Structure 1
Amino acid sequence: MSAPAAQADLAQAREASSPGDSIHETKHESIDNHVDDDDIDSLSPEQRAALEKSLKKKLDWQIVPLCLMLYLLSFLDRTNIGQARLNGLEQDLKMSKDGRDYRIALTILYVPYIIFEIPSNLVVKRFGPARWIPFLVVCWGLVSMLQGIVTSKVGLYINRAFLGTTEAGILPALALYLTFFYKREELGLRQALYFSGASLSGTFGGLLATAIGLIKRPLPGWGMIFLIEGLFTILFGIACLFILPNDISKLWWVTPQERKLAYARMAQPVTTRAPDAENGVVPDVAATAEKRVAAVADDASLEYTGKFVMREVMRTFTDPIVLLMAASGYAYATLLYSNAFFSPTIIKSLGIAKSTAESQLLSVPPTAAAFFVSITAAVLSDRYKWRWISIVVLILISIAGIGLAYGSKVASQRYGGIILLSCGTYSIPPLGISWMLNNTAGLYKRATAIALYIVFTNSGGITSTWLFYNNEAPRYSRGFLVNLCLNAGALVLVSVAELYMIWEGKQRKAGKRDHRVNKLRDQGWSDAKIREYLGDQHPEFEYML
């Protein structure tokens, strides 16, 4: 939200509003400093803590479940082709028996997906998330439904290309959307909760595919999977147009005091100068919450011109932290998509299932276990601010799972390895996304950084489609060994990123980055404007390790 809008909405906090109003509406009223029912500066620490707890609970109930469901549907509609394959997709569309045509269908989706991710995320603010996100959901739901009535492999290829185009913006948009409401140390758990939709999609997808396979139907089983899941996506997207809050001003059920606190929590840190008996000045002291919001409105008058946006985009592509995290995302996401697309086929090849329905049901426990591990890891990561160590532990779990799934000759042990690697690989990306968002600042840099990260992770999706060949069953040596090497590489990349942030933090504490601020202060820039302009390049910006 723009700073003037934030200032104006505080004055109108008592008014009910639709959650779908534009994030960039312009209002002209000012803050009423004399309204008692929205005063937060006079609260005791205990009262403020209680108020913030109440606010976060309301945020969690309004924002997180919707994001979880949206990403569950996104991942389900993108990867349910793995279940459709077990229900006769390749045979009915006369696709090659060696799996080549199937892999082409998987690959085609990611080409437009990667191309449109960054542009899509750059327009989230312009159109408003409460309009843009439901629009994307309805579009890909329609495309997913049409996937159920294709009659040839060429038709499937074309449909998958459109599916990639319409789904491209949803994950980066959701990741950015949460930063409108939560502080950076609160993002880990929330990112994990909505990203758990990826693991839950495997759970529900397997159960739904099994149920569809057992009922009478007008279309082939694989067609009904696409049709039913696509229809539900459309209906949920339409509902989100009315219930998804666009920004803080459009939250439901919050009191004026809670709304004001929500603004204060998200406002840039602002400092004020005060007189000193000896030197005439003292170091900056923290301003009150209300002054912080007002300072953003009055001082941080940056114009988001095309030149400024391009500067933020280029700043992203030259940030070593962003590049290291994105590259690590490619490495560990390859395993995630390998698991999502091929685990039903791999499980069937183990010989422990007697039918297609049993194979689909056996794909449920790995993703269900991954859900609980993901939430546990996120809770610990947020509570103790363990970003790097949490990711390292989860990568090691993934590596152990790969080793067991590939190295053992006992089918039940190999299945246990699939459960183990699922617990690791599904739990890493939400922490990776949070780590990226924690260590970037500035709306357009964050939007570009998270989109770039997801471009890399989806590139891992492309790689995964060419790793598991039918003629290599049941060992799938190529797929497991490549993923083993990539996850080892991810360990190195995240560790280099951690060491770089430690080094850069020391440089800032030593005053070696102060020239960035001094140059702008000499030009008469205010503290708030400098912070917004420099973002994570500001010397006082602290990395979360």
Structure 2
Amino acid sequence: MLERDAECVTIRSQLDPDAYKKKERAARLKMDIQILPVCVLLYLLAYIDKSNISQAMLDGKNLPNGKVEDPGILTSLNMTPHEFSIALTVLFPTYMAFQLPSNLIIRKIGPRIWIPTLALTWGVVETLQGLVTSKAGLYINRIFLGLAEAGLTPGITLLLTFFYVPKELQFRQAFYFTGASLSGSFSGLLATALRKMDGVSGQHGWQWVFYIEGIFTVAVAIVCYFIIPNGPRGCFMLSPLERELIIQRQHAPTYRYQDLPHLALKLKEVEFEPTSENEGLLLTPPWYKEVLRTFTDERVYLTGILGFCVSLPIFSFTNFMPSIIKGMGDYSTAKSMLLSCPPFAASFVYSLCMAFVADRLQLRYLSVMLSFIITLVGLAVLWGCDEPMHRYGGIFMVAAGSYSGPPCMFAWMANNSAGYYKRTSALAFVHMMDNASGLVAAWLFNTHTEAPRFLRGTTTNLAITLLGMVVATIQECRIWQERRQRACGRRDECVVELYRRTHWPREALRSYLGDRHSEFLLEL
């Protein structure tokens, strides 16, 4: 065995099983306390800073003189709904393009520096958004906001894999991702309060929304430089023994690999055939080969499509929920923003419950299918009902179903990828596809011509949700088939060939081949 595994066994041998589990629980709790709150806060701020433009869009009351009290950003900048959709759209090309490079940079710089730097940058950009005086200025600001925020979500997703094993991952992913739903429940309240500052220092209420939220993000980013660790050794809350326990636990093969007796028998019969080209072979493949391998893996593409299908309702209703609710009745702007809060709060609770069950069972397919079904029912209610309270109930279901889906996607992709750069690039690709749905969502709802039913946007979301259910089923069938092929010994060739050339021990073969190794256990 490798030296790491030997140390891990030594730690276990020093403690009886109950004491070891107690020590492991204590270490996990300390990591949760140090890492998860800051991840939730950063993601909450990122989502608020990206989506608060929907709160800034709405106008206040129409005055008898024809003017508007507390005008929204459309009125202030003389923008049409079409131009507002452009402002939503221009954020995403840079947001998507920089996600993979950002995740690769983390390896060199470390999350302790890189993630707070991203937060500091987008906080400054968000603050400057309050100073824009034209639609062109708003477009430019949104482009840079997308560039600055791009690396946060895939970066946090990757960061959590440094600390947690597969059976713990989805709950933690859900915990930080529910920052999005928390932002939905919180940002409406905050925006309602901040827009009451309309006229203070000659600024509109929507400008104060950007100023205050941007400055707060900058302050949080500075604090994060002292909290976010690069890995278990950087967790100041852990004792030296707990740090070593977590490190060795992350490298323990039992969490990701299964021993196949038929493969061991095959390797015993293999004769060593060294060649000159194998003399300098490293224990880990070059990073660029691992990145390229990502884009030859069908599971990456299928999970990416799932990410798109799960996230389209999220972006649709994050950007337009206040407008959708306002169209249900004669609600004021403030009441529309306040009514948009409870659905997000409900999705927060449901997402955590679903993730807890999925981690316990380690069944990602059932988790994502249930999310799709709940979303589908909610969309059907919105599509077919005219009664405002029925439609409001449909929004609750859409929020709960859609927000519980992405953590499952992230955990499924992370747990089915092995090799640092393979996992890094696979997670970045899934996030890119996830955010590609934002490009589509920006054009699905026209608040001037399609309210209150928004049939075009609702129908599109229904179709994409059905597509997601089909793709999830294909993914599950393909993984089940691949697991059977590996169990039957039909995927042993690459392991046998590498062993023939190197005669490396089992752990080295697993490290080099990653998820291509026939003993790597794919999650269903």
* Same fold flag (TM > 0.5): yes
1:77 to 49, 56, 62: 49
* Cα shift at 1:256: 1.9
Measure the CA separation in 1 of the matches of 2:454 and 2:227. 45
For 1:517 and 1:41, locate their aligned partners in 2 and report how far apart those are by CA, in whole Å. Answer: 31
1:424 is matched by which residue type in structure 2? G
Between 1:50-59 and 1:249-258, the stretch displaced more is: 249-258
Deviation at 1:523, TM superposition (A): 1.7
CA deviations over 1:341-383 (Å, ceiling 9, x no partner): 0111111111152x11111100101101110111111111111
**What SS does structure 2 have at the residue aligned with 1:253?**
coil
Question: How big is the shift at 1:243?
Answer: 1.2
**Cα distance in 2 for residues equivalent to 1:499 and 1:527:** 29
2:471 corresponds to: 493
Shift of 1:303: 5.4
Q: Deviations over 1:450-506 (max 9, x none)?
A: 110011111100000011012011111110000000000000001100000000000
Which residue is equivalent to 1:294?
Answer: none
Query: 2:139 aligns to what?
Result: 157
Deviation at 1:118, TM superposition (A): 0.7
How far apart are 1:39 and its partner, in Å? Answer: 4.2
* TM score, norm. by length of structure 2: 0.89
Match of 1:190 in 2: 172
Q: Which amino acid aligns with 2:221?
A: G
Residue 41 of structure 1: how far off its partner (Å): 2.6
Per-residue deviation at 1:242? 1.0
Residue identity (%): 42
2:88 maps to 1:106: yes
| 2:230 equivalent in structure 1 | 246
| Distance in 1 separating the partners of 2:44 and 2:252 | 32
Q: Do 1:199 and 1:426's aligned partners in 2 also have CA atoms closer than 8 Å? A: yes
Q: Name which of 310, 317, 325 aligns with 1:332.
A: 310
Q: From 57, 60, 72, give the equivalent of 2:32.
A: 60
Deviation at 1:386, TM superposition (A): 2.4
Quick one: distance in 2 between partners of 1:64 and 1:253?
13
Distance 2:176 2:250 in 1: 21
**Alignment match, 1:529:** 508
Q: Deviations over 1:100-133 (max 9, x none)?
A: 0000000000011111111111111110000000
Q: Which residue of 2 aligns with 1:209?
A: 191
Residue type of the partner of 2:30? K
The answer as to whether partners of 1:138 and 1:234 remain within 8 angstroms in 2 is: yes
One-letter amino acid of the counterpart of residue 302, structure 1: L
Aligned amino acid, residue 527 of structure 1? R
In structure 1, what is the Cα distance between the partners aligned to 2:254 and 2:384?
A: 56
Q: What SS does the corresponding residue of 1:409 show, helix, strand or coil? A: coil
1:451 equivalent in alignment to 2:428: yes
What secondary structure is seen at the aligned counterpart in 2 of 1:214?
helix
Between stretches 250-259 and 471-480, larger displacement belongs to: 250-259
Q: Contact 2:374–2:398 (CA<8 Å) still a contact in 1?
A: yes
Given candidates 246, 264, 272, the residue that maps to 1:262 is: 246
In structure 2, C-alpha distance between the alignment counterparts of 1:335 and 1:140, rounded to whole Å? 25
**Counterpart for residue 16 of structure 1:** none
Structure 2: how far apart are the matches of 1:237 and 1:260? 29
Taking the aligned partners of 2:353 and 2:113, their CA distance within structure 1 comes to: 32
SS class of match (2:14): coil
Distance 1:399 1:197 in 2: 23
- CA distance in 2 between counterparts of 1:45 and 1:509 reads 30
Instruction: Report the equivalent of 2:66.
Output: none
Which residue in the other structure is 2:63 paired with?
none
Corresponding residue to 1:474 among 452, 470, 475: 452
Structure 1 residue 282, shift from structure 2 partner: 9.2
Check the 8 A contact 2:34/2:237 in 1, yes or no: no
* Higher alpha-carbon deviation: 338-347 or 251-260: 251-260
Superposed displacement of residue 215, structure 1: 3.6
CA positional deviation for 1:395: 0.5
Map 1:230-309; keep pairs closer than 5 Å.
Answer: 230-269=214-253, 302=283, 308-309=286-287
Please tell me the residue identity of whatever aligns with 2:518: P
SS at structure 2 position matched to 1:543: coil
One of 514, 520, 524 as aligned partner of 1:541 = 520
**Rounded Cα–Cα distance in structure 2 between residues aligned with 1:254 and 1:411:** 52
2:364 is matched with which residue? 387
Q: Take 1:302 and 1:109, find their aligned partners in 2: how far apart are those partners?
A: 40
Shift, 1:526, TM fit: 3.1
Compute the RMSD of aligned alpha carbons: 2.2
**Match of 1:327, as an amino acid?**
I
Number of the residue aligned with 1:21: none
Q: Secondary structure at the match of 1:472?
A: coil
Residue 22 of structure 1 is matched in structure 2 by none
Rounded Cα–Cα distance in structure 1 between residues aligned with 2:298 and 2:245:
34
| Alpha-carbon distance between aligned partners in 2 of 1:93 and 1:270, rounded to the nearest angstrom | 59
Whether contact under 8 Å (2:197, 2:204) holds in the other structure is no
Match of 2:106 among 113, 124, 129: 124
* Aligned residue pairs, count: 486
Amino acid at match of 1:82: S
* Matched letter for residue 462 of structure 2: L
**Is this contact kept in 2: 1:107–1:462, CA < 8 A?**
yes
Distance in 1 between the 2:453 and 2:129 partners? 31
CA-to-partner distance for each residue in 1:496-530, whole Å, 9 max, x for gaps? 00000000000001111111111111122332222
Q: 2:522 is aligned with what amino acid? A: Y
Conserved 8 A contact 1:406-1:475: yes
Aligned partners of 2:375 and 2:330: how far apart in 1? 22
CA–CA distance in 1 between the matches of 2:254 and 2:380? 51
What is the CA deviation profile of residues 238-278 of structure 1, one whole-angstrom value per residue up to 9, with x for unaligned ones? 1111111111111112122211111111115299xxxxxxx
Distance in 1, Cα, partners of 2:438 & 2:459 = 16
List alignment gaps of at least 5 residues for structure 2. 60-71, 256-263, 268-280
C-alpha separation in 2, matches of 1:409 and 1:339 = 18
Is residue 203–residue 364 contact of structure 1 (8 Å, CA) maintained in 2?
Answer: yes
Does 1:323 pair with 2:305?
no
Give the TM-score normalised by the residue count of structure 1.
0.86
